[in-house]
Amino acid sequence: MYTPHALNSLSPDEIRAFIVQRLKAALPGLDLQSQQDQPYRLTLSHPEAGDVILNLGNLVHEVQGAAPRAAEQMVETFVSLAQRAVEPPEIDLKSVFPGLRHRAFLDATKQNVSDRMIGEGPGDMVTVVLSDQGEGVATLNEACVGAAGHTPEDVLVAAERNFVNLLPGAFRASTRADGLLSLRLERYPWLGTSLLFVPLLLSRVMEDRGWSRALIAAPTRESVDLVDADGPDARRVMARWMADKLSGPRTQSEMVLSFRQGATEYAKGYRMVGSELVRLN
């Protein structure tokens, strides 16, 4: 086992090998295979939980940039989450929330779009239900909800109620020098994108700033980002922000949506192609 001070100085392939070694030690008897064309994506096969996809790309990136002890802790946390991934999640109705994930998430986790816990989202995203498990977050499906003794309807109602209740104290806004505004949920960073569920809140934010139209994006899971669509540099500012965020970890959506103050739905506006925003409608 590598010492903590050496881990973050290894090459990406060496870090990957170390993580695989730790996973195999923590999950004896389970089949762990690399995907041939994507070596940083692993398939963990469990006789009851089925196949769990583990993506090491973001973790390796973060380990390389972390302080020595933090790097080791990141790996230990990831291994702990992998152990929990093959166990049925405990579902507390006070700890479930609505979430948004990119459509590719369904393929990566082998989720079925017909599952009642999955729905249509804005842009290229789908709605999911997330359960706060303390050390991590579980994405719920009908099977695990039923195994925990709940109905999909009960969980969906509880998720909406919990999200509405946490908004007043958790919502934060910050403005960059170039005018881009980021909205976050400080205590729940993994729920930041869920602010797209509340167009009325976004409309009020725009009204406070005198914006009639906005370009809105969620390139990562941590925030919803807006610029004044009538500003002279709106597209340039958003394109630069998107390119930066999409090159980092925990990327989410390549879409930039159009939104008018007082509206209840988003219109498709642009998609990032390389470093440019390409208009869709």
Per-position DSSP letters for 35-51, written without gaps between them: ETTEEEEEEEEETTTEE
**Confidence (pLDDT) at 57:** 85
- Residue 251 CA to residue 248 CA, distance in Å, equals 7
With 0.85 as the threshold, say if the pTM is over it: no
**Confidence (pLDDT) at 47:** 53
**Confidence (pLDDT) at 46:** 62
- Residue 239 CA to residue 157 CA, distance in Å, equals 36
**Confidence (pLDDT) at 51:** 65
- Residue 258 CA to residue 269 CA, distance in Å, equals 5
Q: What is the pLDDT along the chain (281 residues), one digit of tens a residue?
A: 445 447 878 888 899 989 988 888 888 877 788 876 788 888 877 654 556 778 888 889 898 888 888 888 999 998 888 877 776 677 899 999 999 988 887 765 666 778 899 999 999 999 999 988 776 677 888 888 988 899 999 999 999 999 999 988 788 999 998 999 999 998 888 899 999 999 999 999 999 999 999 999 999 989 999 999 999 899 999 999 999 999 887 788 999 999 999 999 999 999 999 889 999 96
**Confidence (pLDDT) at 216:** 98
**Confidence (pLDDT) at 234:** 96
